[in-house]
Structure 1
Amino acid sequence: MSEESDTPENTPAKGSKKPLLIGIVLALLGAGGGFFAVQSGMLGGGEYVEEAEAQDDSHTPTPEVATFVALDPLVISLPRSGGRDHLRFSAQLEVAPEYADEVAAITPRIVDVLNGYLRAVDLADLEDPAALTRLRGQMLRRVQIVAGEGRVHDLLIMEFVLS
């Protein structure tokens, strides 16, 4: 029986690697050609990029000169849990220069809105380090509603301490 297993009829035939190599070369050539076509603008990709850049520039409301209006610091008492009793919070508003006086005049109303919002937030949300960005966005939106459209561009948190 050992003589039968050594005969060439029982050995598996090995396939040629030529089709595999041809496939790899064609794939690389196709990828390179596609990359070149997109980068050179032959497929219209260049127009889309220029249009996207133009739209991105038109929607950016950052002012040339920033004016900052400081808000009075807040101390908010927290429900007794976990040994934390108070939240100290202070912030500044980035305001369009032409509206700085108007926004400064309504800072008591802005502080009232922020105070009400921060008192309503759960303690677990205040303790989560990743939640500060979400809280900042919520506070900024409330301030923008109170101040009016286009007046306040950003809310800069200067102090956010749980003690």
Structure 2
Amino acid sequence: MTDATIEDELEPQKSSKTGLFLGLGLALAGAGGGYYATISGLIPLGESHATKADNKDPDSHGSAMATTAAQDIAFVDLPPIMISLTGGGDLRHLRFHAQLEVASSAASNVEKITPRIIDVLNGYLRALELSDLRDPKSLARLRGQMLRRVSLVAGEGNVRDLLVMEFVLN
């Protein structure tokens, strides 16, 4: 072999840095796009800049929100419901009492349909079995189901929450 071919074999080939620069450019473009998407609100993470600009004093804004929310709500008391439950040969009684958190403007409308709301809750609670109540998380699940049914009867947006005042199983 000649000296020229030996030098070509010994000399390492230099890798192209094009891939490195292309990857770096794409990473920077992705980071910039992610930053823009988060700031513009396309990706809702935490509090947006528009909300931060409006809140110069976070303590005053929090108390203003609390007083506005407290003035805009009303509670509709539902009469207690007593239900007999069977399961495993035992006859047990469930005493249930709740209140509905509604917008103050919708309170009179919800009070007018209280018999329908009681009918829906009574039908749902009578369909329960004792095994449905044994799980410690059952009250949260039942509350969600009842709120969904009450919202359907009262109209979407009229009932904000269902507050369980009494849930006693004898």
The code of the aligned residue for 2:156 comes to: E
Give 1:111's aligned residue. Answer: 118
User: Structure 1: which 5+ runs fail to align?
Assistant: 1-33
CA shift at 1:150, angstroms?
1.1
Identity of matched residues, %:
56
Give 2:76's aligned residue. Answer: 69
Conserved? CA contact 1:70–1:91, under 8 Å: yes
User: Structure 2: which 5+ runs fail to align?
Assistant: 1-27, 52-65
The code of the aligned residue for 1:66 comes to: I
Give 2:144's aligned residue. Answer: 137
CA shift at 1:127, angstroms?
2.2
In the superposition, the TM-score normalised over structure 2's length comes to 0.61
Question: Kindly tell me: are residues 50 and 91 of structure 1, through their superposed partners in 2, closer, same or farther at Cα, counting changes over 3 Å?
Answer: farther
In the superposition, the TM-score normalised over structure 1's length comes to 0.64
CA distance in 2, matches of 1:50, 1:126: 46
**Aligned residues between the structures:** 120
Q: Deviations over 1:82-138 (max 9, x none)?
A: 755100100000001111001011111101100000111221112221111111111
CA distance in 2, matches of 1:155, 1:147: 12
In the alignment, structure 1 residue 91 sits paired with structure 2 residue 98: yes
In the alignment, structure 1 residue 124 sits paired with structure 2 residue 124: no
Alpha carbon RMSD of aligned pairs, Å? 2.7
